[in-house]
Structure 1
């Protein structure tokens, strides 16, 4: 949300967005501004940071349904949550490819988001498939 507010509303880079002229031996910079202002920073006219915020909001709504809804709704919600997180996971490699090989810059906030999506998928995979998962056992 900080990134959306500062970049889209204030038109300033978020904190720690550009860390000097740090360039790796591969010629890749640590520069969120370069990533967020690239032609690849939107899909269908919508900024990727806005789409990411929507993804995480829907993710949160589904989590709330899983833990607080009736069993039948919770069971369906966990299936939808698994598919939703798989969709997020499927997009991450493409976004990393764009950062590293096309834009040649890494966005710290994007990298944190990618990590969160990967961790989210690992958690939902455990909850759905592990026999030791209390949520799986509760939902049957």
Structure 2
């Protein structure tokens, strides 16, 4: 048995609309949004009295980011929002892009913070952005 593919990554958010707008600005599309609740959902994720709104975002090639806003039980914030990249745990998601300069400029105009950027040898340009709720997104443009 082997893994076939990765279907999606989950990000639990407080402000679902702001985070959806951030990923739409990056170029993802909203595939769908729904509310889930009830005992079967609770059994699956190990919580009681679950009610959550889920928004599935997709990259142009079909990769998914699931955004979840928990109504009950309330989401728990662990630590500060703007933690550095070397903080333990899931820290960022990276996207391949065609025009890093244009996308960074666009995202900054939408309120994203540029953490930093660099060129890796002659192969890639990289940039790290921080969006709503401290979400870190890396962008990579292949050179040549």
Same fold per TM (> 0.5)? no
Higher strand residue share: 2
Higher helix residue share: 1
**TM-score interval, normalised by the smaller of the two chains:** under 0.3
| CA radius of gyration, larger in | 1
TM-score norm. by structure 1 comes to 0.26
TM-score norm. by structure 2 comes to 0.25
Structure scoring higher RCO (CA < 8 A, sep ≥ 6) equals 1
